[in-house]
């Protein structure tokens, strides 16, 4: 499964991207995370359905300094496989 996720709230400048990478790596998921100019964080993630479900729950929680107000989740069709999980700038 591949999902594109937009995270809203206090999610920039609080270690959210590093948190997302750490959690994705712990589940063996692939993809990337980046800040958007409008204050949201965008995540593209690919992997096992069950593990992505756990990942989504962790994204809702976020690191201690973050406050997640909303996740917008869009299911996508994978075109090329993703390898590893990166922070994009």
User: Which positions are catalytic?
Assistant: 17, 35
C-alpha–C-alpha distance, residues 88 and 77, integer Å: 21
C-alpha–C-alpha distance, residues 70 and 18, integer Å: 19
2 neighbors 30 (Cβ within 8 angstroms): no
């Amino acid at each position: 499964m591949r999902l594109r996720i937009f995270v809203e709230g206090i999610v920039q400048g609080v270690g959210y991207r590093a948190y997302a990478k750490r959690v994705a790596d712990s589940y063996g998921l692939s993809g990337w995370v980046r800040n958007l100019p409008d204050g949201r964080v965008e995540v593209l993630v690919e992997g096992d359905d069950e593990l992505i479900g756990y990942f989504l729950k962790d994204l809702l929680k976020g690191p201690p300094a973050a406050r997640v107000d909303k996740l917008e989740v869009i299911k996508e069709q994978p075109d090329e496989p993703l390898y590893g999980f990166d922070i994009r700038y």
